[in-house]
Amino acid sequence: MAKPKNLILSSTVFERVVHWVLAGSCLFLFLTGFGLMFHSLSFIGNFFPGGHYIMKLLHNIVGIIFGIAFLFALIAWGKDTLYFDEDDKKWFRVMGGYLWEVEKVPEAGKFNAGQKMFFMVLFLFWFIMVGTGIFMWFPIFPPELTRWLYVLHALGVVVLGGFLVIHFYLGTYGNPGTFQVMGHGYVTKGWAKKHRSKWLRDVEAGRRSV
Ligand code: HEM
């Protein structure tokens, strides 16, 4: 795609494909997971030809896709998210300007401190969910231990669910102009200046391409 005027590429095709595979698989896991976890929601299995059995099988298979997709997410975003710098500490002190009025929100690179924290939480819970999921699928441990894996898996749903609701809100209505990052990949320079000014300076100086 040719570079539109006044817009700047913020997310490569690779990043966008990884994002939507990760997001799609994660949402599918939530939906089918609720169908497996709660009797009152077991009707979700009726949407699958083959019913509950196929829903469980697909939950496990999509779990593998989610597990692999996160490895690509590490390649796409790991270098920009798995650390905090001085500006990030300042960002946390004012909570990014989201919770109360602040004069100036500290500058961010490609991702702000909140997004970095989201990625780190995702990393931790990717490990927990995939790890517990595998041993729930193949229960090689004693039943008492396997039961605790179920508890940990359910706890992961609660934590990830909370973070994803916030991620969804901030990526759409909460920050107008952001959703297009994961659509066509371009943002306006004004948006970049407001949300990731350090990154914009680096791109304009040729220190990084995206
Ligand atoms: C379906 C609803 C979703 C929407 C609307 C959405 C929207 C977005 C947007 C707009 C960005 C770019 C933010 C930026 O560059 O400033 C982004 C980044 C990202 N999204 Fe999503 N997303 C969704 C679901 C998910 C899910 C389910 C996951 C994970 C399982 C996920 C993981 C990520 C990650 C890791 C990033 C990279 C930056 C970061 O750490 O925040 N997204 N998303």
In a domain, residue 52? The reply is: yes
In a domain, residue 120? The reply is: yes
pLDDT at site 6: 87
Contacting residues for 5 by C-beta, under 8 A, at least 6 apart? none
In a domain, residue 101? The reply is: yes
Question: Residue 84: which CATH number?
Answer: 1.20.950.20
User: Can you state the angle between helices 143-171 and 113-137, rounded to 10 degrees?
Assistant: 150
pLDDT at site 191: 96
* CA 181 to ligand 1 centroid distance, Å: 9
Closest of 148, 90, 161, 176 to residue 121, by C-alpha:
161
Q: Under the phi-then-psi rule, with left for phi > 0, alpha for psi from -120 to 50, and beta for the rest, what region is 137? A: alpha
In a domain, residue 35? The reply is: yes
In a domain, residue 114? The reply is: yes
The low-confidence residues of the chain, meaning pLDDT below 50, are none
In a domain, residue 55? The reply is: yes
- Ligand 1, residue 187: give the atom nearest the CA: 15
pLDDT at site 5: 72
In a domain, residue 138? The reply is: yes
In a domain, residue 197? The reply is: no
pLDDT at site 4: 64
pLDDT at site 2: 59
| pTM > 0.75: yes or no | yes
User: Does ligand 1 lie within 6 Å of residue 65's CB atom?
Assistant: no
User: Does ligand 1 lie within 6 Å of residue 111's CB atom?
Assistant: yes
Q: Domain span at residue 121? A: 13-174
* CA 126 to ligand 1 centroid distance, Å: 15
Contacting residues for 83 by C-beta, under 8 A, at least 6 apart? 116
Atom 19, ligand 1: residue with shortest CA distance: 19
* CA 46 to ligand 1 centroid distance, Å: 30
What's the alpha-carbon Rg for the chain, to the nearest Å? 20
pLDDT at site 161: 98
User: What span, in angstroms and rounded, lies between the C-alpha atoms of 164 and 30?
Assistant: 11
Total number of domains constituting the chain? 1
- Ligand 1, residue 118: give the atom nearest the CA: 40
* CA 61 to ligand 1 centroid distance, Å: 22
Q: Are 110 and 199 in contact (CB under 8 A)?
A: yes
